């Protein structure tokens, strides 16, 4: 268990330094750890978090039970204490639930040290904020790392109902049928697990803006009848990472208390093959009346989001943002560290980029190029659920979603790459990263 505290003083045994590469060095004999942050000109909050994540591994390896980190190296004490605590907790995370050896790590007390008494409060508020946010990030990671036989749609619904300080409504299958969400129901049809539409609402007094967050909530994506290969199916318990991020965000809202109304929507279901599954060639009608030819049942996330986003429009938010592990193509384009940002609204994409730079969850803006719209035309329906070929697959998927957002300012985050590290990620552990929780919380904070 790691405990953090803020203290005033000059005693430090963890010291930050500029250096040639980012790495954690250990100077023997003096019980001092030197954290090299790489070249000053390349420094960013991302570097500090990554180094702090490496640092915690080193401290544990060296069996430290207490350490004091000198923050005087940094100008901004709130930012640096927040980044250090986040990095340490990101790096410390392990999903041990199914390991026989569940022995907890030894206790470690980390003091963040500042020389000036008047900076104590800044350090303390940095620590407190980071602890709160990281609680949500690691909660999200647990949900994604859990096997999909545990995190079923009903399980996600029960998690939403456990969150304090918000209003939650779970729509059952008959209710979803009544609403006419054929695309969502189509995806869930092959599974024995009942679909759940989860709606969460955080509405503080005096809120001037209303942000709607939609998360892809496919609790397992086998591909359906367009079945995935074993290699591609292996990690598909992670296909609800967007939805899990929304649950994580809502968990933090009651304490963070941003003065903005937030609605969260998750269409949770499994994508499975069976005698009841949708078939390639089937046509489904989405909530907004548009018809979709399902050419490939593995492009299921956009079907569920078509219904969720067009339902979202009826709630008249000022802004809609979706987080979705939507395409392998986005992963091919941007790799495991960076999510694709698609938006026709400059103001919204700039705000998201600003939040991204501040929390170190990387985004790269991708084109929503209208010329590619012809690639998702269908001879029998209003739209096809896949492009003509696999090229530009992340863009055609985003253009498909755009058909369901009406004229509401909207951004789509394709988090297929950064949501789940199949190999060791930038902060250490393999598996879920909690991507999106810190980003969106920072974005909401910036709206005030
Ligand atoms: N859930 C996948 C996308 C994905 C792939 C997420 C890898 C994370 C890692 C999505 O439902 C999917 O299968 N997309 C297809 C779309 C294709 C059929 C047009 C893909 O990317 O191959
Ligand atoms: Zn799929
Ligand atoms: Zn999927």
CB of residue 301 inside a 6 A radius of ligand 1: yes
Per-residue pLDDT of the chain (448 residues; tens, 9 = 90+): 999 999 999 888 999 999 877 777 776 656 889 999 999 998 988 899 999 999 999 999 888 999 999 999 999 999 999 999 999 999 999 999 999 987 778 899 999 999 999 999 999 999 999 999 999 999 999 999 999 999 999 999 999 999 999 999 999 999 999 999 999 999 999 999 999 999 999 999 999 999 999 999 999 999 999 999 999 999 999 999 999 999 999 999 999 999 999 999 999 999 999 999 999 999 999 999 999 999 999 999 999 999 999 999 999 999 999 999 999 999 999 999 999 999 999 999 999 999 999 999 999 999 999 999 999 999 999 999 999 899 999 999 999 999 999 999 999 999 999 999 988 777 878 999 999 999 999 999 999 7
In this structure, the dihedral spanned by the alpha carbons of residues 140, 129, 322 and 288, taken in order and rounded to 10 degrees, is 100
The secondary structure of 23-88, three-state, reads EEEEECCCCEEEEEECCHHHCCHHHHHHHHHHHHHHHHHCCCCEEEEECCCCCCHHHHHHHHHHHH
How many whole angstroms separate alpha carbon 158 and alpha carbon 150?
12
Q: What does each C-alpha distance from 265 to 141, 282, 298, 401 come to in angstroms?
A: 19, 26, 21, 15
The proportion of the chain whose per-residue pLDDT surpasses 70, expressed as a percent, equals 99
Which atom number of ligand 1 is nearest to the Cα of residue 387?
Answer: 19
The finding on whether 414 has its CB within 6 A of some atom of ligand 1 is no
390 belongs to the catalytic site: no
Per the DSSP assignment, residues forming a β-bridge with 321 are 213, 411
Q: Find the 16 Cα to ligand 2 centroid distance in Å.
A: 44
The CB density around residue 321, as the number of other CB atoms within 10 Å, is 25
What confidence score (pLDDT) does residue 106 get?
A: 85
Is residue 22 helix, strand or coil? strand
At 370 the pLDDT is 94
Torsions phi, psi for 198 (to 5 deg) = -105, 125
Report CA(295)–ligand 1 centroid distance (Å): 14
Query: Which pLDDT value is given to residue 28?
Result: 60
Residue 331 to residues 167, 354, 413, Cα–Cα distance (Å): 35, 22, 12
Model pLDDT, residue 22: 75
pLDDT of 105 reads 80
Handedness of CA 101, 104, 106, 111 (dihedral sign): positive
Ligand 1 close to Cβ of residue 328 (< 6 A): yes
For 249-303, the DSSP string reads HHHHHHHH--SSEEEEEEEEEEE--STTS--TT-EEE-TTS-EEE-S-TT--HHH
Give the number of the ligand closest to the Cα of residue 328: 1
Of all protein residues, the one whose alpha carbon is nearest to atom 5 of ligand 1 is: 328
Shortest-distance Cα residue to atom 22 of ligand 1: 328
In this structure, what token pair is assigned to residue 153? 């749609």
Say how many C-beta atoms besides its own lie within 10 A of residue 279's C-beta.
Answer: 12
Which are the contacts of 112, defined by CB distance < 8 A and separation ≥ 6? 4, 5, 6, 7, 68, 69, 71, 81, 84, 85, 123, 126, 127
H-run or E-run covering 395: helix 393-402
The pLDDT value recorded for residue 443 is 98
Q: How many CB atoms are located within 10 Å of the residue 311 CB? A: 25
Pocket test for ligand 1, best of 303, 327, 372 (most atoms within 8 A of CB): 327
The verdict on the CB of residue 296 being under 6 Å from ligand 1 is: yes
How far apart are the C-alpha atoms of 417 and 423, rounded to whole Å? 11
Q: What is the pLDDT of residues 175-232, one digit of tens each?
A: 999 999 999 999 999 999 999 999 999 999 999 999 999 999 999 999 999 999 999 9
Asked whether the beta carbons of 196 and 280 are under 8 A apart, the reply is no
Find the ligand nearest to 235 CA: 1
347 vs 410: CA distance, rounded Å: 10
Name the residue of 226, 241, 245, 328 whose CB sits within 8 Å of the most ligand 1 atoms, as the mutation to test its pocket. Answer: 328
Q: Which of 60, 209, 228, 290 is catalytic?
A: 228
Mean pLDDT of the chain: 95
List the residue whose alpha carbon is closest to atom 16 of ligand 1. 299
Give the C-alpha separation, 429 to 436, whole Å. 17
Using only the alpha carbons of the chain, give its radius of gyration.
22
Catalytic, 302? Answer: yes
Q: Is the CB of 299 under 6 A from ligand 1?
A: yes
Q: What percent of the chain clears pLDDT 90, i.e. is strictly above it?
A: 90
Q: Residues with beta carbon < 5 A to ion ligand 2?
A: 221, 298, 300
Residue 144 and residue 96 in contact, taking contact as beta carbons nearer than 8 Å:
no
The reply to whether ligand 1 has any atom less than 6 angstroms from the CB of 294 is no
Which of 303, 172, 159, 167 minimizes the C-alpha distance to 244? 159
For residues 136 and 388, give the distance between their C-alpha atoms in angstroms, rounded to a whole number: 39
Cα(229) to ligand 3 centroid in Å equals: 13
């Amino acid at each position: 268990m790691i405990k953090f505290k803020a203290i005033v003083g000059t005693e430090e045994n963890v010291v930050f330094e500029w250096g040639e590469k980012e790495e954690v060095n250990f100077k023997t004999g003096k019980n001092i750890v030197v954290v090299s942050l790489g070249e000053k000109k390349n420094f960013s909050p991302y570097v500090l978090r990554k180094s702090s994540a490496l640092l915690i591994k080193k401290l544990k390896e060296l069996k430290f039970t207490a350490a004091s980190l000198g923050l005087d190296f940094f100008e901004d004490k709130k930012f640096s204490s927040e980044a250090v605590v986040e990095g340490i907790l990101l790096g410390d995370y392990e999903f041990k639930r199914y390991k026989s050896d569940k022995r907890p790590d030894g206790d470690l007390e980390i003091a963040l040290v500042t020389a000036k008494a008047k900076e104590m409060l800044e350090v303390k508020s940095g620590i407190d904020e980071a602890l709160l946010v990281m609680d949500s990030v690691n909660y999200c990671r647990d949900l994604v790392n859990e096997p999909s036989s545990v995190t079923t749609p009903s399980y996600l619904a029960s998690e939403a109902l456990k969150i304090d300080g918000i209003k939650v409504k779970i729509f059952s299958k008959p209710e979803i049928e009544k609403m006419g969400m054929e695309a969502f129901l189509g995806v869930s049809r092959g599974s024995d697990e009942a679909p759940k539409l989860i709606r969460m609402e955080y509405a503080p007094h005096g809120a001037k803006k209303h942000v709607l967050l939609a998360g892809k909530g496919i609790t397992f994506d086998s591909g359906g009848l367009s079945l995935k290969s074993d290699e591609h199916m292996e990690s598909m318990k992670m296909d609800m990472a967007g939805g899990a991020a929304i649950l994580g965000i809502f968990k933090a809202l009651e304490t963070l208390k941003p003065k903005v109304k937030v609605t969260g929507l998750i269409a949770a279901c499994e994508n499975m093959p069976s005698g009841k599954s949708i078939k390639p060639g089937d046509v489904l009608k989405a909530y907004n009346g548009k018809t979709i030819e399902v050419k490939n049942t593995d492009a299921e996330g956009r079907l569920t989001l078509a219904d969720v986003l067009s339902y979202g429009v009826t709630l008249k938010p000022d802004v809609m943002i979706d987080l979705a592990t939507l395409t392998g193509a986005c992963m091919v384009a941007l790799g495991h560290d960076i999510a694709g940002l698609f938006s026709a609204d400059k103001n919204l994409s700039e705000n998201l980029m600003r939040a991204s730079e501040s929390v170190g969850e990387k985004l790269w803006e991708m084109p929503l190029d209208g010329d590619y719209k012809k690639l998702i035309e269908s001879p029998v329906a209003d739209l096809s659920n896949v492009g003509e070929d696999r090229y530009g697959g992340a863009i055609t998927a985003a253009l498909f979603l755009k058909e369901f957002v009406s004229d509401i300012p909207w951004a789509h985050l394709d988090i297929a790459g950064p949501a789940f590290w199949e190999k060791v990620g930038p902060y250490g552990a393999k598996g879920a990263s909690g991507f999106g929780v810190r980003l969106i919380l920072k974005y909401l904070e910036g709206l005030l």
